[in-house]
């Protein structure tokens, strides 16, 4: 339907919760958007699912987390973003440097939206330039649009990254 036109990178914090994960994966399966994630995002998702299941006292919490990850990878084989290391420098200055991989992966795949619950650690100037999109589902969706002609160095670098040729999946070609 629309998936050939819109890409969203989903952060681990939005995949950890069963309800959010099911909603997002159902929307992606219905082709409302092209789903993207990285190996590190899936590592963090699996660890979060494991921790949540353990806190609930569920048996085989590690197995549950591993099965959830395998199911996601099997259902969305083309969602994996790789080779995004060269974009890590564009995410310098984040309040939490451990989140640079999320921004870098979004830049690599040219995703106009990062779906995350963690807006606190993702300042506006570090979000992908095309739409500056980040969604928060707790109360409402919020989209910050990039200002045209921005002199922000991060905006300029992101805009340059978005000019790269795209491969057949819509990702930046190396």
Say if 171 falls within a structural domain: no
CB 107 within 8 A of CB 161: yes
Scan for tokens 């589902």, then name that residue. 137
Say if 2 falls within a structural domain: no
Q: Where are the alpha helices (DSSP H) in the chain?
A: 12-15, 18-29, 39-55, 61-75, 100-109, 153-162
Say if 170 falls within a structural domain: no
Say if 132 falls within a structural domain: yes
Cα-to-chain-centroid distance, residue 146: 18
Q: Which domain holds residue 152?
A: 7-162
Say if 1 falls within a structural domain: no
Please give the Cα distance from 167 to 39 (Å, whole number).
Answer: 20
pLDDT per residue rounded down to tens, the chain (174 residues): 444 679 999 999 999 999 999 999 999 999 999 999 999 999 999 999 999 999 999 999 999 999 999 999 999 999 999 999 999 998 887 778 888 999 999 999 999 889 988 876 665 654 555 434 433 332 222 223 233 344 444 444 444 444 455 554 555 554
Say if 174 falls within a structural domain: no
Give the chain's end-to-end CA distance (angstroms, integer): 28
Q: What is the pTM of this model?
A: 0.70
Say if 62 falls within a structural domain: yes
Nearest residue to 6 via CA among 36, 28, 38, 34? 34
Say if 139 falls within a structural domain: yes
User: What are the pLDDT digits (tens) for 88-100?
Assistant: 998 887 778 888 9
User: What are the pLDDT digits (tens) for 142-161?
Assistant: 223 233 344 444 444 444 44
Please tell me the total count of domains within the chain.
Answer: 1
CATH number at residue 65: 3.40.50
């Amino acid at each position: 339907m629309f998936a050939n036109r819109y890409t969203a990178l989903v952060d681990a914090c939005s995949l950890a919760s069963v309800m959010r994960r099911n909603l997002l994966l159902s929307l992606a399966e219905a082709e409302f958007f092209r789903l993207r994630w990285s190996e590190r995002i899936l590592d963090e998702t699996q660890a979060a699912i494991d921790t949540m299941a353990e806190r609930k006292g569920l048996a085989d919490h590690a197995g549950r987390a591993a099965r959830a990850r395998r199911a996601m990878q099997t259902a969305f084989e083309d969602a994996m973003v790789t080779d995004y290391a060269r974009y890590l420098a564009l995410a310098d200055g984040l309040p939490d440097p451990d989140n640079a991989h999320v921004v870098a992966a979004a830049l690599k795949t040219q995703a106009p939206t990062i779906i995350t619950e963690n807006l606190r650690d993702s300042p506006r100037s570090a979000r992908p330039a095309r739409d500056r999109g980040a969604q928060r589902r707790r109360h409402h969706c919020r989209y910050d649009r990039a200002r045209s002609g921005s002199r922000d160095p991060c905006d300029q670098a992101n805009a340059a990254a978005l000019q790269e040729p795209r491969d057949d999946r819509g990702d930046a070609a190396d």
